[in-house]
Structure 1
Amino acid sequence: MRGNQLLLSLLLITGFQSVFGQADTAKGASYAFNLEDCIKYGLQHHHDVVNAHLDVNFSEEQVKEATGKLLPHGNISASFNDNMKLATSLIPDIANGNYDVKIPVQFGTRFASSVTGQLDQVIFNSDYFLGLKASKVYTDLAKKSLTQTNIETTVAISKAYYAVLTNTENIRLTKSNLQQLSKTLEDTRHRYDQGVAERIDVDRIQVSYNNTVTTVTNQIRTLVYALQLLKFQMGMPQEAQLTLTETVQDFDVEYYLSDTVDYKPEDRIEYSIQNTQIALNELQLKSTKMKYLPQLSAFVNYGWNYFSTDFGDLYKTGFGASVLGLTLNWPIFTGTERLHLIRQNKITVEKSRNDLDYLVQTISNQVKEANTIYLNNKDNFTTAKKNMDLTQGIYDRVVYKYDQGVSTSLDVLSAENELTQARVDYITAMLNILISKTDLDKAMGKIK
């Protein structure tokens, strides 16, 4: 029984290393990353970031499409007609001088064909020119949306990264307690065998030891999931091996500073996106107003016409024809539809400007809220760390007194429970301060 317990303790003590060693036999790459490396990898591989880059490429193609509308457009048209029965017309009988008499005649040939090439060029069209400008604004919006996606991805990766580190620290602390419990359990058994301890003392410590073993096992499962979640947020294949090169000790959370005095709403990407939306709405308004202007385009064409009563002789002789001209289209009056559409666009512009003002207020409230939560979590972390150090000292003294036969097993278990709760509070406070600092940096626009 004792050998099995010692073996189980050894397996659990070394279990954390196996979490990161599971992928040794898996097919996939191996990575040793810190937080910066994880973020860099995620900004290259995450699904949303990849799609955001594609959106930028798509918008750039839209700009080229709008530019192409201003270039000359050429087309070739051809036709072939088999007039199986020519149309009949009535004309005066001029040949016989009987002008009052109408005689039926047929004009044309049975077979007719034509080929025409035409080149069109827009000279002035407000929709085309404004569309080109709007396409460039859309490209700018897509780039800003990419920046926003990068920020969201960075935040998600950071929080998942901190979850792995705090879970790792939690396992380390719990295993340290497990080692002490294992030693206390063995000493109590030895004293029981010598008749200086009671069976109830052995059983009490055994229960606490079993619970701690289960706790470590659950914590390892939680860590495995936390690591899987981090890979997911990074866009990394689950079969890849990821080892983190940092611990929570590398983040001096006690000395994090928060200064919300000099923050500017303009630093938030949402502010810039809203300004771009206003620009798009203003362009839409301008486009509606300019629909009153005429549209002018030029064209030139050249073609050949072929006629014959016999199909075999159709393409022996062609008659050329060419036209050079201008086309003007000026919508003088379209009822009151356009007037009301202009008013609708003005309302949309006004709403978007009002949304910008509201966004500024929202950002201000978000910064205040994030700063309040961060400061509270910072105080909680400081208190939790002090409490954990104090309870650790209490636990060590109680165990020492127990070894000397001065205190009871109930005192040891009570001190162990207090230490366990203090460590839970410490880990929770540590994760909360790391996450709230990330949320505060995001609210202030410090994450780019």
Structure 2
Amino acid sequence: MYRITSLFTVILLWRSFVVQAQVDTMSYTFNLNDCIQYALTHQHDMVNAGLDKAYYYEKIKESRGKLFPHADINGNFQDNLKLATSLIPDIANGRYDVKIPVQFGTKYSSSISGQVNQTIFNSDYFLGLKASKVYGSLGEKSYTRTAIETRVAVTKAYYAVLVNEENIRLITANQLQLKKTMEDTKARYEVGVAERIDVDRIMVSYNNVVTQMDNQQRLLAYSLELLKFQVGLPAEATLQLKETVKDFPPEQGLKDTTDYLVHDRIEYSQQLTQIDLNRLSLKSKQLSFLPSLSAFVNYGFNYFSTQFSDLYKKGYGSSALGLTLAFPLFSGTERIHQVKEEKITLQKSLNDLDYLGQQIKLEVKNAFTQYQNNMALLNTQKNNITLTQGIYDRIVLKFEQGVSTSLDVISAESELKQAQSDYINALLNALVSKIELDRAMGKIKE
């Protein structure tokens, strides 16, 4: 037993080692489209949306199944501990005015019967079948909406990684420039051309840039984790991106918003489907006065005996074939008010559709305004970063020539960092506003 247990433990450890090795070697190199396609299959919300769609399909089949024949088998056993007593006239003795007690039946009785029912006409069944198809359409549209939201979320996370990488590129360039200036200043100090205070000032700026780089590296690592989460990749996997931020110029956006329709938004289509459901619900209440007709056929056996051991030795068969018609003549005023309630619900859904159309138009205007503002700010920041870079280079050159001071270098470096920070923020905002504009106009499809 000890050897078996030890062997089993070794097998478990080996399997866990193999699984861990497989996890450790999971590496992905994706572009944006790869990330989106992977997310549409593996992301949590998409998986659940797919299950919801399958659930709606099963609801359709369930509604169809109600129109098929339904069969039941029923069994019964009864032990009459004390038979009921009835009073009947004393016919045997000719005393019709005298009642005598009599017990009918046997101590044991049993029955087995089967019945098949088939609905011939029922308005709720047929309307329910139509409603189930509409629900299926609603499930498809819910899946599409989740897919669109997933595309937007993955794209935003992808852009965040690219912008962080661009920021690291800019910080790296600053770090190299400042490191060279610091080394040159140290060399000049060693030969007595520069002062110690110049070395210290530039070293302080360099240390700040190093810390900024470390912070940005951590932000990049977090943005990658967020992207993996949005894509649905395991946290243990490694992800590398094929593209850079230069592959997504935000200026390649829409010049105007004249080529969109509110019908392009999946939310508008979902509301139309909801109106169809409300119409079917109203029709169901309006047709509730119609009769329902069904057919049935049954067959069974009855068993009787005074002894339990003889109960099932002989059975008495019975069978019936017939129709059942149910006609709701009067149900008070309940049905009248139910119809009115459904009409009110339908009117509300129509009002919601009109309101949603106005919301979409306003949302498009707002998204386009934000996009235009962010693009204008991005162009300004591009110019500013070019200007501040030129200023910084000239100040450093003058400092090396002994014309400017270290304070001038520090000030120019600070202005350059601020310009780069403003540029990065403007770049991310422009990219995000572009995807938001596409979403608002219904340009993002499943």
Cα offset, 1:26, TM superposition:
6.7
Partner of residue 3, structure 1: none
Identity of aligned residues (%): 64
SS at match of 2:313: coil
Cα offset, 1:286, TM superposition:
0.7
Partner of residue 38, structure 2: 41
Partner of residue 115, structure 1: 112
Q: Is contact 1:24–1:241 with CA below 8 Å preserved after alignment?
A: no
Unaligned runs of 5+ in 1: 1-22
Q: Is 1:323 equivalent to 2:320 in the alignment?
A: yes
Cα offset, 1:110, TM superposition:
1.8
TM-score (norm 1): 0.93
Q: CA separation in 2, counterparts of 1:175 and 1:408?
A: 24
Q: CA separation in 2, counterparts of 1:26 and 1:121?
A: 56
Which segment drifts farther, 399-408 or 285-294? 399-408
In structure 2, the CA distance between the partners of 1:228 and 1:139, relative to structure 1 (3 Å rule), is same
Give the RMSD, CA atoms, in angstroms.
Answer: 1.4
Deviations along 1:20-69, one digit per CA (max 9) or x if unpaired, are: xxx99972511101111111111111111110110010011011111111
Q: Is contact 1:28–1:239 with CA below 8 Å preserved after alignment?
A: no
Partner of residue 415, structure 2: 418
Q: CA separation in 2, counterparts of 1:159 and 1:333?
A: 60
Partner of residue 148, structure 1: 145
Match of 1:135 among 132, 135, 138: 132
Superposed, 1:365-376 pairs within 5 Å as 365-376=362-373
SS at match of 2:96: strand
In structure 2, the CA distance between the partners of 1:25 and 1:123, relative to structure 1 (3 Å rule), is closer
- Runs of 4+ in structure 1 over 4 Å off: 23-26
Match of 1:30 among 20, 24, 27: 27
Partner of residue 260, structure 1: 257
SS at match of 2:312: coil
Please tell me the residue identity of whatever aligns with 1:80: F
Partner of residue 275, structure 2: 278
Cα offset, 1:312, TM superposition:
2.2
Q: Is 1:191 equivalent to 2:181 in the alignment?
A: no
Deviations along 1:264-287, one digit per CA (max 9) or x if unpaired, are: 001000010000000011111111
Unaligned runs of 5+ in 2: 1-19
Q: Is 1:79 equivalent to 2:76 in the alignment?
A: yes
TM-score (norm 2): 0.93
Q: CA separation in 2, counterparts of 1:397 and 1:26?
A: 52
SS at match of 2:28: strand
Q: CA separation in 1, counterparts of 2:251 and 2:141?
A: 34
Q: Is 1:440 equivalent to 2:437 in the alignment?
A: yes
Q: CA separation in 1, counterparts of 2:288 and 2:420?
A: 70
Please tell me the residue identity of whatever aligns with 2:173: S
Cα offset, 1:310, TM superposition:
2.1
Q: Is 1:169 equivalent to 2:170 in the alignment?
A: no
Q: CA separation in 2, counterparts of 1:428 and 1:289?
A: 59
Q: Is 1:387 equivalent to 2:407 in the alignment?
A: no
Match of 1:106 among 87, 90, 103: 103
Q: CA separation in 1, counterparts of 2:334 and 2:310?
A: 56
Match of 2:215 among 218, 225, 229: 218
Cα offset, 1:255, TM superposition:
3.6
Cα offset, 1:387, TM superposition:
1.1
Q: CA separation in 1, counterparts of 2:392 and 2:102?
A: 121
Q: Is contact 1:174–1:212 with CA below 8 Å preserved after alignment?
A: yes
Superposed, 1:323-362 pairs within 5 Å as 323-362=320-359
Q: CA separation in 2, counterparts of 1:417 and 1:30?
A: 39
Number of residue equivalences: 426
SS at match of 1:442: helix
Please tell me the residue identity of whatever aligns with 2:157: A
